[in-house]
Amino acid sequence: MGEACIPTVDLSPFLREDEDGKKRAIEAITQACSEYGFFQIVNHGVSLDLVKEAMQQSKTFFDYSDEEKSKSSPSSDAPLPAGYSRQPLHSPDKNEYFLFFSPGSSFNVIPQIPPKFRDVLEEMFVQMSKMGVLLESIINECLGLPTNFLKEFNHDRSWDFLVALRYFPASNNENNGITEHEDGNIVTFVVQDGVGGLQVLKNGDWVPVVPAEGTIVVNVGDVIQVLSNNKFKSATHRVVRAEGRSRYSYVFFHNLRGDKWVEPLPQFTSDIGEPPKYRGFLYKEYQELRMRNKSHPPSRPEDEIHITHYAIDN
């Protein structure tokens, strides 16, 4: 593996209106999104005390017995599976997770959830959601789009969700926690503990995203890659499990409504004389194809549906 490392960007200029600092941060994020699709942020506005408490509550919950955790499993009539589950279904020894939607969302139909855990999930959601809106506005500026373009395109926050994850220690025969993939959304945030294991693929090498206190990992998803006509990349990444230690993390998905139409924007195609690299699609249809990869894994890895399913050969 080479000497590459994921860049870290200080967001404090956006919280205190430092124009010179903003300019430097925008340049750094633009380069990171073009080269990696990943970067880390500090001084992001999410309470570090909250993050510590969230990690502790996650560990407490996942240490419960399977019988106790199952009380928080999704109800059979829930529109989306909020609550506790093992993942993936065909290999339950790898990891387990708790899925949480916006407080008050109709998707958040969870039979039982420990009060302290619920409180921390709700506050994490609120603070991560605020950060999502900020990062979306920064990416908007990095792409040179009209002011508030992405905010107006993606104004509904009810489809965002937060996941608390526990990866079990590596087994004797394999250590993949989550196999290599790209995220299909707008932007994703990861809060990881000191165990690490998150890796990004760059130029054929797996680059570790080294945990550091106070940092949050950011990666752009397929929607941004398509809207920008490949100007920004949705990077391939994976989680490698450690030996002898569980890994705890939180992942926040800044999402898009299912009925939104996604296609390369004219600012990156017709306005500059570039052909579109993707045909347009309904976002929920793409997500259904991605879910099918998980529920009915194809016999050959190359048959999995990725954003390349919509790629145009120019």
- Report whether pLDDT(15) > 50: yes
* CATH number where 12 lies: 2.60.120.330
Ramachandran class of 42: left when φ > 0, alpha when ψ lies in -120 to 50, beta otherwise: beta
Is residue 278 one of the residues assigned to a domain? no
Question: Could you tell me which residues come within 8 angstroms of residue 73 by beta carbon, excluding any fewer than 6 positions away?
Answer: 83, 84, 85, 111
Is residue 269 one of the residues assigned to a domain? no
Is residue 273 one of the residues assigned to a domain? no
Is residue 300 one of the residues assigned to a domain? no
Number of domains in the chain: 1
Is residue 312 one of the residues assigned to a domain? no
Q: Between β-strands 95-101 and 83-87, what pairing exists: parallel, antiparallel or unpaired? A: antiparallel
Give residue-wise pLDDT tens across range 241-299. Answer: 988 899 999 999 999 999 999 999 999 999 999 999 999 999 999 998 887 766 666 66
Q: Between β-strands 38-42 and 8-10, what pairing exists: parallel, antiparallel or unpaired? A: parallel
d(CA 281, CA 286): 7
d(CA 268, CA 125): 33
pLDDT given at position 183: 94
The residue type at 17: E
Give residue-wise pLDDT tens across range 82-139. Answer: 889 886 544 556 889 999 987 766 666 666 889 999 999 999 999 999 999 999 999 9
Contact 208, 194 (CB under 8 A): no
Residues facing residue 267 across a β-bridge: none
Is residue 198 one of the residues assigned to a domain? yes
d(CA 162, CA 190): 10
Q: Which domain holds residue 117?
A: 8-264
Is residue 1 one of the residues assigned to a domain? no
CA distance to 35, 149, 164, 192, 232, per residue, from 247 (Å): 27, 37, 11, 8, 29
Is residue 298 one of the residues assigned to a domain? no
Give residue-wise pLDDT tens across range 210-219. Answer: 999 999 999 9
- 234 token code pair: 């949705």
Cis peptide before 88 (omega within 30 of 0): yes
